[in-house]
A and B are shown apart, each in its own frame.
Chain A
Amino acid sequence: MSVDLEKLAQEEYKYGFVTDVEQEIAPKGLNEDVIRMISSKKNEPEWLLEWRLGAYERWKKMKEPRWAFLRYPKIDFNDISYYAAPKNNPRPKSLDEIDPEIKETYDKLGIPLEEQKMLAGVAVDAVFDSVSVFTTFKEKLAEEGVIFCSISEAVEEHPDLVRKYLGSVVPRGDNFYAALNSAVFTDGSFVYIPKGVRCPMELSTYFRINAENTGQFERTLIIADEGSYVSYLEGCTAPQRDESQLHAAVVELIAHDDATIKYSTIQNWYPGDKQGKGGIYNFVTKRGRCIGRASRISWTQVETGSAITWKYPSCILEGDNSVGEFYSVALTNRLQQADTGTKMIHVGKNTTSTIISKGISAGEGQNIYRGLVEIGKNAEKARNYTQCDSMLIGDCCGAHTFPYIEVRNSTAHMEHEASTSKIGEDQMFYCRQRGLSAEDAVSLIVNGFCKEVFKELPFEFAVEAEKLLSVSLEGSVG
């Protein structure tokens, strides 16, 4: 295919700009003082500081995991700054108090913070480096009793809720990156949906990394009380830089009886350049506990950015009849690598899980699906359906699947399907014969391949995801 490859390969990452804003940045390196500094900046209560320090103690004894199918240089954790916040008024009360540069940044990213300009029915928490700079529609949501704010604010205003649930899904010593996050997490979103409330809007957090040589460690905590419903979406972008940056987030979800949490991610961190220079290292621990009867947690992710992705959004199905779902599209182009998948841990009776994973590899991208389905001995009549499809575009990329299954109850019903296909020459030719350019043909075919996942996204975001996929695929045909 003699498409103008040069031109396409030079297509810039659209969100790679840097915002010029005065920031307060902690000196590089990690020690107790840094943790105390972060905690005091946030006026945290003593228990939280202790919790952080405990996490740090554990982290120091832990080894960086290397079992993933990922290759990257050793990360020097003392060469990173653990706190960066805009200097001007880090917690504005109204829009007028926000640094105009920051406001403009969000405008440029297509996330205007003025409520009247927003997508109808979407509330946004905007996180800029280490702090949440603004949360929209807070008052409107409060009318329904919904709490949607930054986690720092939640620590101050709703300490009992935070204390009860923080670390209840991902304990602070869970794994290397989770421990690191627990020690130094800076901001993130907090959501509480009271009993019987169907959250009237989509909630979303938009994460923006801006500062150089800093890591982003956000922490999100979502609690859906009995019979409630919430749909939450996170989006992420970062400037284009030559140095890689670390992003190690923790997300915890708790669903009580009959509650539903739908959590969607559109991850578009800077992926690095053609030579693989720069890009975000994305090491994320996401887990949900379906503690209530007939509760439901659904993860949908579209992962197109980052140089390295290490991420396994999981569900622990404790309540009887609870449901866990994982829908994933992971795309790796150029030199990107993704090792991603899920864990479905069936504890309660009649629990059901569904896993649909679509991996697309182009360029020299490497895409790994790693999944665990565990059926505990009391999980009578648990059911799992897993479908893992991989698509290869070109000859230099790779796809691997590592499905692990552990069944300790003989009444379990498991179904597994997997396929690998090379994007068909024949499909390409068919589309081009009808008049589509090679790029349009690839994105049409790939979007078709991902349809089952996209249909799980809220409508506006499904459109966004399709566009993003097309952009991320640019330069992949050759």
Chain B
Amino acid sequence: MLEVKNLHVQVDDKEILKGMNITVAPGEVHSIMGPNGSGKSTLAQVLAGKETYEVTEGEITFQGKDLLDLEPEERACEGIFLAFQYPVEIPGVANTYLLREALNAKREYREEKPLKHVEFGKLARDKMKALGIDENLLKRSVNAGFSGGEKKRNEIFQMQILEPTLAVLDETDSGLDIDALKIVANGVNSMRDSGRSFIVITHYQRLLNYIVPDFVHVMVDGKIVKSGGKELAQELEEKGYADF
């Protein structure tokens, strides 16, 4: 599904990713762990198409397409979703409005009819309930004044509505209380299937008790330095990154 080969990325002449490789097959859940500043969010943003990052070398293919050729919105419509580490506030724009526009943009891309207000409303309310999100959050401006946990839950809610093929979750567990963590993990697990893959970026092994990954990668200084199964996360929890 996703193949990242020898990816080099820089910002302001500073190289951040230094030959990154990762291959994700359909249905797999990969977890990326690594110290602060090692480049995890950079990878996530580059996958989503953020232009401030310059790809100097390497390639990314997604479902047979050269991802680097596509605009961010095309990538989104092709099925890539990024749950942001720091979700952005957009004052005056109702949460539900952005989401309906987004879903309909995606449907238009696939040459499907746009969803009517009522249909969308029902879909949104059902998903909200399952995630224990207050309905008022739909009407409020996108992320404006949301608590840290509400923002993260809102990202997962959006993911559920948009049904991506590849979801990249950037520290979605940070700032969540125990109950919210379980709800978010359930939200992810309920979407796992043979056609959908996840890249889960996290600092805590705890999340991986709930979202059990197929692979765990350790990222240090812009590269994957070690990969393994879920037991690698346990190991990191105990020993830290000192060995790398």
Chain A residues engaging chain B, CB cutoff 8 angstroms:
1-2, 424-427, 429-438, 440, 444-445, 447-452
Contact = CB atoms under 8 A, between A and B. Distances in A.
A331 to B, nearest CB: 15
Given A444-B101, A448-B91, A451-B92, A434 B158 contact: yes
Dominant secondary structure at the A interface: helix
Interface of B: 48-52, 71-73, 75-77, 81-82, 84, 87-93, 97-99, 101-103, 105-106, 109, 141-142, 158, 162
A1 B81 CA distance: 19
Contacts of A447: 92-93
B101 A437 contact: no
B90 A427 contact: yes
A357 to B, nearest CB: 15
Contacts of B77: 435
Contact of A444 (B50, B98, B158): B98
- Interchain residue pairs A-B with the least CB separation, the first 6: A448-B92, A448-B93, A451-B92, A434-B102, A435-B105, A432-B72
5 contacts: A433-B73, A435-B103, A440-B101, A448-B90, A448-B92
A310 B84 CA distance: 43
B82 A433 contact: yes
Given A2-B71, A448-B91, 18 more contacts: A427-B89, A429-B88, A431-B98, A432-B71, A433-B49, A433-B75, A433-B82, A434-B98, A434-B102, A436-B98, A436-B101, A436-B105, A440-B105, A448-B90, A450-B92, A451-B91, A451-B92, A452-B92
Contacts of B142: 448
Nearest to A446: B92
Contacts of A433: 48-49, 72-73, 75-76, 81-82, 84
A437 B76 CA distance: 10
B95 to A, nearest CB: 11
B90 A436 contact: no
A430 B84 contact: yes
A27 B101 CA distance: 53
A426 B101 contact: no
B71 A435 contact: no
B98 A449 contact: no
Contacts of B158: 434
Nearest to A445: B90
Contacts of A429: 48, 50-51, 72, 88
Contacts of B105: 434-437, 440
A427 B88 contact: yes
A444 B72 CA distance: 17
A61 B86 CA distance: 61
A280 B91 CA distance: 33
A425 to B, nearest CB: 7
A430 B88 contact: yes
Contact of B73 (A435, A445, A449): A435
Contacts of A425: 52
Contact of A430 (B87, B97, B141): B87
Given A433-B49, A433-B82, A438 B91 contact: no
Contact of A424 (B50, B76, B88, B99): B88
Nearest to A425: B52
A440 B98 CA distance: 10
A451 B91 CA distance: 9
Given A427-B90, A431-B90, A432-B72, A1 B101 contact: no
B21 to A, nearest CB: 24
Nearest to B86: A426
A161 to B, nearest CB: 42
Given A429-B72, A448-B141, A435 B109 contact: yes
A427 B50 CA distance: 12
Contacts of B52: 425
A435 B93 contact: no
A421 to B, nearest CB: 9
Given A2-B71, A444-B93, A435 B88 contact: no
Contacts of A1: 51
Contact of A435 (B51, B76, B84, B91): B76
A232 B110 CA distance: 44
Contacts of A452: 92
Tell me which of B81, B84, B88 has the highest count of chain A C-beta atoms within 10 A of its own C-beta: B88
B169 to A, nearest CB: 13
A104 B165 CA distance: 51
Contacts of B102: 431, 434-436
Nearest to B45: A429
Contacts of B71: 2, 432, 438
Contacts of B48: 429, 433
A426 B90 CA distance: 10
Contacts of A436: 73, 98, 101-102, 105
Tell me which of A430, A444, A452 has the highest count of chain B C-beta atoms within 10 A of its own C-beta: A430
Contacts of B97: 444
A426 B99 contact: no
Contacts of A451: 91-93
B76 A434 contact: yes
A450 B105 CA distance: 23
Contacts of B76: 432-435
Contacts of B89: 427
Nearest to A451: B92
Nearest to A426: B88
A158 to B, nearest CB: 43
Nearest to A1: B51
Nearest to B105: A435
A21 B106 CA distance: 47
B88 A445 contact: no
A343 to B, nearest CB: 27
A452 B84 CA distance: 28
Contacts of B73: 432-433, 435-438
A450 B90 CA distance: 12
Contacts of B93: 444-445, 447-448, 451
A436 to B, nearest CB: 6
A452 B82 CA distance: 30
A111 B50 CA distance: 44
A449 B76 CA distance: 25
A437 B49 CA distance: 13
Contacts of A438: 71, 73
A216 B3 CA distance: 64
